[in-house]
Amino acid sequence: CLSHDIVTHELGHAVLDGLKPYYNEVSSVETAGFHEYFGDALALASSLTFRDVLAKVVGSAPRRLTKELIGKIGQEFGSAHDGDTGYLRAAFERRTMPEVAGNYEEHDYSQVLTNAFYEFLARLYEDRMKKERPKSGKTGLDGGVAVAALVNAADQASRTFFRALDYCPPVDITYLDYARAVIQADRIAYPSDEIGARKLLSELFVERGVVADVK
């Protein structure tokens, strides 16, 4: 009850129940996996609203996100449950649809989408950091620049993936449905796609075998 990730994940189930109540009717492993993904993605995004977490993640202004902090979900609970890994699930571990085929454990299935969310967030952060230059007389970037880049990336990733719920079916969601909804929601919100977000999203979904192609 003292683990932020656990509390936020379980709250995510309640939020999704309110938005899409029939997703609680487990009609397929993908519907069940989507529920678990939503909780994990919400926990990941929520962790980046804390100043201390942000400072620890990008304190030295890295050009890339490390996997050691925000990518590990449920560290407190995981450490108590399994001392070998120290976390419940890793958002940075890529899972593909072929890899989970025949696996009916919803938490394993959820990692396909959780990793897509994490990778989108990480790539947005990296793209923002590539555009930054050290201030005059400095050899490295200021930590505040990196924090701002991460906050903006987390905000965009959350809006992109969570907004898609409005475009999803009311029952029996599949990962293909969700991928199409994410792309469509972003297309409506940002018709010009100046930063190439939809191209990146398409690549992420294709690489994980969610769809053969997304246009």
| Measured distance CA(12)–CA(177) in Å, rounded | 20
Dihedral angle over CA of 157, 163, 165, 168, nearest 10? -100
Q: What are phi and psi of 204, to 5 degrees?
A: -65, -45
Angle subtended at Cα 73 by Cα 70 and Cα 77, rounded to the nearest 5 degrees:
130
| Measured distance CA(54)–CA(147) in Å, rounded | 6
| Measured distance CA(145)–CA(58) in Å, rounded | 9
pLDDT along the chain (215 residues), means of 10: 86 96 91 96 91 81 72 65 65 92 93 96 90 65 80 94 96 96 94 91 96 70
What pLDDT is attached to residue 158?
A: 96
What pLDDT is attached to residue 74?
A: 72
Q: Which of 102, 103, 119 is nearest to 41 (CA)?
A: 119
Straight-line distance from the first to the last Cα atom of the chain, in angstroms, rounded to the nearest whole number: 42
What pLDDT is attached to residue 173?
A: 96
Q: Which of 183, 157, 186, 181 is nearest to 170 (CA)?
A: 181
pTM for this one?
0.89
What pLDDT is attached to residue 53?
A: 85
Type and span of the H or E element at 73: strand 72-73
| Measured distance CA(48)–CA(65) in Å, rounded | 13
What pLDDT is attached to residue 214?
A: 57
